[in-house]
Structure 1
């Protein structure tokens, strides 16, 4: 069993409907943390959709709430009837060096920490989520790479996935960190998102990705879009004004939540 023990914060001390999980995981060989947003007034509901959000380099599980305020923005949309109640799960990447890239390496499996352990922890400790819940995954920068890659590989788990300002090939990690990238890629395998899409076309779920026109990764995202067009893989790609910044992700994560909502009966277009 990968999950060994799960601790959850006391609901009596919740602020802004945020809960905190600490999971002892055999995949990590230790503990990993996650922030969970449970929408207000959902105590008696179950089967709510679940969205996993992955952070970028240097950061941790708190980045989506304390840099992007995503939970309050979602709560506002829910209160207006513009989005359905969704549970947001924002895990750490495993806290390896400057960023794990959400890949298996260094004797740990940061991919399965997200795709297996985080889901098990939420299903165990958050009663608003169950096996019938629709499941989605998104992320930014390194987290965009992780969300795209995991979403592609686990098409039987995630109903849709997305990326924002995403790294599209592992070598682009060098634009943000100085660590030896060889540790991610011991067999020199190309870790390009396109390759995973080609390998997993049979289980591919719907997906979207976007990038800012002033982002350091814009040309890489355009290239991936063009290659997907050339091999006729259905997807949504959008560009918006902005750079590789928290303000960009704060605004455009809502595009992914709206995209995910279209796969829920009440909000289908």
Structure 2
């Protein structure tokens, strides 16, 4: 029996490169939501699950159609660099220019990602189980979501990775039409640092990176410095590049290798 009032998936005979698309009536959002899945062509049935979160203005198609995430995963699997795994690439809930991945305005965007996305993936035929290892990663606003949700729900994730992260939702207010600030009830809703420090005892292995030409470089360096000062173990890296899809396409490999290293 389904956990959802309605769920529709793409037809297998039209799917390409292991991509499956899903639309579901989300209980957490009270509306339809979308999810793209990468399903590797393997016989195993209890694979790890990697949730990839997109940034503002985008949706579930961003990681696959702008960064080829499914192709990167397939290549690394074929080359034996990572084990077979499922990618779940959800929409953020499609609120305004971006939901921020926390609960506000009567919608539980965080529960949609943490609780419902794995359930939807399983119902849509992903070869995962209730005990499959789960990882979370994201870019830009999705980096904020990955770091925040990974810290808040540390017991659900084995590792966290983030690229070019927004570290404070106030940074987004200048580039979105609908402000997220009115929906924030706590400081930790706004700041990655406060969320991590509040939940540091349950923090899974964490890495994040940023491009040297990215406008968010200073904020990422400050987060790294603050975590170092507080004695919070993490990995931080900088690479050439800016706030752009070509950067995220390249460095998704770092995320997937990091997750492979932390499979128990």
TM-score for both structures, normalised by structure 1: 0.93
Q: Is the 8 A contact 1:57 1:176 kept in 2?
A: no
The equivalences for 1:161-200 within 5 A come to: 161-185=160-184, 191-200=190-199
What secondary structure sits across from 1:163 in the alignment? strand
Q: CA deviation at 1:133?
A: 1.3
Structure 1: gaps spanning 5 or more residues: none
Match of 1:221 in 2: 220
Aligned counterparts of 2:118 and 2:188: Cα–Cα separation in 1? 28
The equivalences for 1:47-196 within 5 A come to: 47-185=46-184, 191-196=190-195
Distance 1:73 1:102, change over 3 A: same
Match of 2:39 in 1: 38
Aligned counterparts of 1:90 and 1:190: Cα–Cα separation in 2? 22
Aligned counterparts of 1:186 and 1:264: Cα–Cα separation in 2? 35
Q: CA deviation at 1:174?
A: 2.1
What secondary structure sits across from 1:67 in the alignment? helix
Structure 2: gaps spanning 5 or more residues: none
Q: CA deviation at 1:179?
A: 2.4
Aligned counterparts of 1:51 and 1:91: Cα–Cα separation in 2? 11
What secondary structure sits across from 1:180 in the alignment? coil
Q: CA deviation at 1:183?
A: 2.9
What secondary structure sits across from 1:52 in the alignment? strand
Aligned counterparts of 1:188 and 1:238: Cα–Cα separation in 2? 26
Q: Does 1:211 align with 2:210?
A: yes
Aligned counterparts of 2:223 and 2:3: Cα–Cα separation in 1? 34
Q: CA deviation at 1:216?
A: 0.7
Aligned counterparts of 1:135 and 1:209: Cα–Cα separation in 2? 17
The equivalences for 1:22-37 within 5 A come to: 22-37=23-38
Q: Does 1:263 align with 2:246?
A: no
Distance 1:133 1:186, change over 3 A: closer
Aligned counterparts of 1:117 and 1:190: Cα–Cα separation in 2? 20
Moved more, 167-176 or 130-139: 167-176
Q: CA deviation at 1:181?
A: 3.3
The equivalences for 1:14-29 within 5 A come to: 14-29=15-30
Aligned counterparts of 2:88 and 2:169: Cα–Cα separation in 1? 24
Aligned counterparts of 1:89 and 1:137: Cα–Cα separation in 2? 9
Moved more, 127-136 or 216-225: 127-136
Q: Is the 8 A contact 2:38 2:87 kept in 1?
A: yes
Aligned counterparts of 1:62 and 1:56: Cα–Cα separation in 2? 11
Match of 1:8 in 2: 9
Q: Is the 8 A contact 2:188 2:194 kept in 1?
A: no
What secondary structure sits across from 1:57 in the alignment? coil
Superposition CA RMSD, Å: 1.7
Q: CA deviation at 1:106?
A: 1.3
- The number of residues matched between the two structures is 263
Distance 1:2 1:149, change over 3 A: farther
